[in-house]
Chains A and B, each alone.
Chain A
Amino acid sequence: MAISPVSALLSGAMTKLGLLGLYQSQYWFGPPPPWVGWVLLLLGLLGAVYALVRGLGEEDLKGALAYSSVENLGLMLAALGTYFLKPMPLLLGAFFLHQVAHALFKGLLFLGAGALGERRISHLGGLFRKAPGLGALALWGMGVGAGLPPGPVFLAEWQLYQGFLQGPFLVPLAAGALALVGALALYFYVRLFGLAFLGLPRGEAALHWTQGMRFGLGVLAGLLLLLALVPGLVLDPLGVRTYPNWLLLILLGVLVGVFYRGLLRMPMRAYSTWDCGFQPLSPRMQPNGLGFAEPALRLFPFLRLQVGEHPRLFSCNSSPWWWFWGWSCYDGALGPGVGSAFFGKRQVAEG
């Protein structure tokens, strides 16, 4: 895997070139036929869901971030596909705003991951207390990445939802897929941030958190903030308008500040975490990376989780007849296939 600044460049900038080429192709070859739009839309949405689910089981912090890049690119691809089906400025707004926002927040997160000496999520933990600055920047980047308001990625998704809902034929159903992506992204980033930065430290992770990094990450975070305050920088040339996001951002910021300071002034007492009154908590009691993702992985039939001494995740081995008998999934059970409706479920051997 590449060193972190290179990862940031690859994910932030290089991956956008292909998308830009796809966008430009309509000027080179004329308006694309509708099937191109459908293919891009379906590939984008399926890729986004698949990448997030795979990323949920990823142990390497940078690997997980790379899966998140696939998810974001999938959403941009879906926006472009829908734009080819029905040209709406909203969709272009979603496409370009998402690109800029993704380049910034993913650059921030990849560079931040470079500060960690340990990249395995299950061996991290409690980093926020060691480096609050890094933690705060990563929280901002991951909150934006999870598509939460008032971040710029949410603005892009907000436009994408509206574009989908006004789309032709069955395109509005894509809003459901986008909601699934949103919920999975929430889970995904809670897992990354929560396991790496919060809780009890699971190991002695070395940190290379230098003044220069602080400055670089700060610049990227500031640019993200600027984009959230003035999305018009990207959207105005496209003629798209959003709700007053700056108002929401400032209002939330002020109210959070007021509550936070108020609560800190109230009487408080430091004490240990509730441990049921038995032996004290140990870091090993916290679920690890795969344990945290397990309930979600259980829902998706294209992955299998091997539990035991060395838990690991692998794709389901499905026979070429998966569409008839159903695909093999978690614990050897079968997902629904065309034939299973008539012949009942077929059990497959473990392994």
Chain B
Amino acid sequence: MLAPLFSGSVKWLKARLTHRQGLSPLVEYRNLIKLWRKVWIAPHPTTPLFLLGPILALLGTLGALALLPILPGPTFKGDFLLALYLLGLGRFFQMLAALDAGSSFGVQGGYREGMVTVLAEPGTLMALAGAVLLGEGFSLSGLPQLGVENSLVLLLALASLALGLSAEGARMPVDDPTTHLELTMIHEAQILDHSGPLLALYELAGSLKMLFYAGLMALLLPGFKPLVFLGVGVAWVLALAYLETYGVKLRYLRLPDFLSYNTLFGVLALLGAIWRF
């Protein structure tokens, strides 16, 4: 429910930072309702995969969110692996749906997303696994909270999750959510041929995905969970708005350099968890 507010607030703050009036932070809700009522367009060469893309992108993200123990939900050994792979399920079908329309943009978006996944996934998973190893029960509900004795591992995990959010949530500096230039877009290129309700599902899935990473970070921080969650959300809105106003998107070929930090943090967090430093 909160997700559209999150991306709406980023848009609003970005507008204010560039001295524009900006739309209200609630604009994303209105946008989703508007899209939901529109006619959707089925390009000629498409197959059922075209519809499965947005559906599974949303369902995979919802499934991953359901495994977060912020709200009462299922919890079991190894649930963090399932959560990350459910996001992967959504990504698989999103990439396929992008290839479905037969446009070269969609395919470009598909392989770029694939490369970002290859770069970002190992680090994020290792960092999360490091944090889980320090906790109890091998699951998200037993995640440890930031304290003195585990500060190194958890700070590394937080940094890695932050990079993971920018990579997998398709935000700056990995991807620019406002660009529609063929040479630069990653996420937008994949959803170019989706319109109306299909686009609404994609937009919702995109903001939910960011909420998932924010939720993971909130789990690692001490305090009353819903409040921490809100705090992390506000911090992300500020960070993303400033970064996307004053920063620039990285050149696509420079992404390996940037995301190698993610892998580095992941390896260090896991090593820290093994040797308990």
- Which residues of A are in contact with B by a Cβ distance under 8 Å? 125-126, 128-129, 132, 135, 139, 143, 146-149, 154, 158, 161-162, 165, 169-170, 172-173, 175-177, 179-180, 182-184, 186-187, 189-191, 193-195, 197-200, 243, 248, 252, 255-256, 259-260, 263-264, 266-275, 281, 283, 285-287, 292-296, 299
Given contact pairs A176-B270, A183-B118, A299-B256, A273 touches B44 in the complex (Cβ within 8 A): yes
Given contact pairs A165-B129, A243-B79, A259-B55, A128 touches B44 in the complex (Cβ within 8 A): no
- Tell me whether A198 and B92 are in contact (CB under 8 A): no
7 inter-chain pairs at a CB distance below 8 angstroms, sorted by A residue, are A148-B92, A187-B111, A190-B114, A194-B100, A199-B45, A268-B42, A272-B43
Q: A148-B88, A172-B133, A176-B123 are in contact. List 11 more A-B contacts (CB 8 A).
A: A161-B81, A172-B273, A176-B270, A199-B101, A243-B74, A243-B78, A256-B59, A263-B51, A263-B198, A271-B42, A299-B256
Q: Which 4 A-B pairs have the closest CB atoms?
A: A194-B99, A187-B114, A200-B102, A273-B43
Inside 8 A of B92's CB, which chain A residues have their CB?
143, 146, 148, 186, 189-190
Chain A nearest CB from B6 CB (Å) reads 23
- Tell me whether B78 and A287 are in contact (CB under 8 A): no
- Tell me whether A176 and B78 are in contact (CB under 8 A): no
Interface centre among B47, B51, B101 (most CB of A within 10 A): B47
B193 close to A (CB within 8 Å):
yes
Q: Which residue of A lies closest to B121 (CB)?
A: A183
B40 close to A (CB within 8 Å):
yes
- Tell me whether B125 and A281 are in contact (CB under 8 A): no
- Which residues of B are in contact with A by a Cβ distance under 8 Å? 39-45, 47-49, 51-52, 55-56, 58-59, 63, 74, 76-79, 81-82, 85-86, 88-89, 91-92, 95-96, 99-105, 107-108, 110-112, 114-115, 117-119, 121-123, 125-126, 129, 132-133, 138, 192-193, 196-198, 201, 256, 263, 266-267, 270-271, 273-274
Inside 8 A of A255's CB, which chain B residues have their CB?
59
Given contact pairs A179-B126, A198-B47, A273-B101, A256 touches B55 in the complex (Cβ within 8 A): yes
- Tell me whether B51 and A128 are in contact (CB under 8 A): no
Interface centre among A182, A190, A263 (most CB of B within 10 A): A190
- Tell me whether A270 and B42 are in contact (CB under 8 A): yes
- Tell me whether B88 and A162 are in contact (CB under 8 A): no
- Tell me whether B52 and A154 are in contact (CB under 8 A): no
- Tell me whether B52 and A256 are in contact (CB under 8 A): yes
Given contact pairs A162-B138, A295-B114, A299-B119, A173 touches B125 in the complex (Cβ within 8 A): no
- Tell me whether B102 and A190 are in contact (CB under 8 A): no
Chain B nearest CB from A185 CB (Å) reads 10
Inside 8 A of B102's CB, which chain A residues have their CB?
125-126, 198-200, 273, 281, 283, 286
- Tell me whether B129 and A190 are in contact (CB under 8 A): no
- Tell me whether A286 and B107 are in contact (CB under 8 A): yes
Interface centre among B100, B104, B133, B273 (most CB of A within 10 A): B104
- Tell me whether A173 and B271 are in contact (CB under 8 A): yes
